[in-house]
């Protein structure tokens, strides 16, 4: 499985979370939002995390786009492309949101059912992810606040893992 994400201060942390959540061979592609194309010729991503609007709108090749719905520019950009979209964010239209954030855990809510890459349904539900250990040991040197970690790393990583077919029950501890 290949996951692409626009390169930012959050990319390494998000990819690190995903490598722990998804138990199969995984390749990561950090994409440059200033590039004219999101994929090199012949390159594709199974899942593309779209956390920023590209500076130059261009085509991308992916089966599913995991999209930050709190960024309205991204939603306008996506209307041009044909990919399965699974959204995350803090607004009422997001497929996956964080409904409660505590120092040591985050409660996620699947607000809108969606399909995994294999076609299985992810139904509406809430589930908790314990984050204390991961946060202390993995992001201390990145100068990322806990709220930035949840918003820009954990939320897209959990949404991507669910889209890849990882059951919510397997996401209880990071």
Per-domain boundaries in the chain: 2-171
Pick the CATH number of 2-171 from 2.60.40, 3.40.1190, 1.10.3470, 3.30.429: 3.40.1190
Closest CA to 61 of 14, 16, 29: 29
pLDDT in tens, 9-20: 788 888 888 887
pLDDT of 65 higher than 80: yes
Phi/psi at 118 (5° precision): -85, -5
* pLDDT band per the 50, 70, 90 thresholds, residue 36: very low
Percent of the chain with pLDDT over 90: 28
Across the range 135-148, mean pLDDT stands at 63
65 Cβ partners below 8 Å, 6+ apart?
47, 48, 49, 50, 78, 81, 83, 84, 85, 86
What pLDDT, on the 0 to 100 scale, is given for residue 82?
66
Q: Strands 121-122 and 114-115: what pairing?
A: antiparallel
pTM for the whole thing?
0.85
- Taking the C-alpha atoms of residue 51 and residue 143, their distance in angstroms, rounded to an integer, is 19
């Amino acid at each position: 499985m290949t996951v692409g994400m626009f390169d930012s201060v959050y990319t390494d942390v998000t990819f690190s979370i995903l490598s722990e959540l998804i138990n199969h061979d995984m390749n990561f592609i950090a994409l440059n939002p200033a590039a004219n194309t999101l994929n090199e010729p012949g390159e594709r991503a199974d899942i593309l995390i779209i956390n920023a609007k590209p500076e130059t709108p261009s085509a991308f090749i992916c089966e599913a786009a995991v999209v930050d719905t709190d960024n309205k520019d991204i939603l306008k950009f996506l209307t041009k492309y044909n990919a399965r979209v699974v959204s995350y964010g803090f607004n009422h239209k997001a497929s996956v949101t964080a409904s409660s954030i505590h120092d040591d855990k985050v409660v996620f809510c699947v607000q809108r059912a969606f399909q995994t890459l294999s076609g299985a349904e992810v139904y509406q539900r809430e589930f908790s992810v314990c984050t204390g250990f991961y946060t202390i040991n993995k992001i201390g040197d990145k100068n990322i606040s806990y709220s930035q970690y949840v918003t820009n790393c954990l939320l897209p990583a959990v949404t991507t893992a669910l889209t890849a077919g990882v059951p919510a029950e397997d996401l209880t501890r990071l």
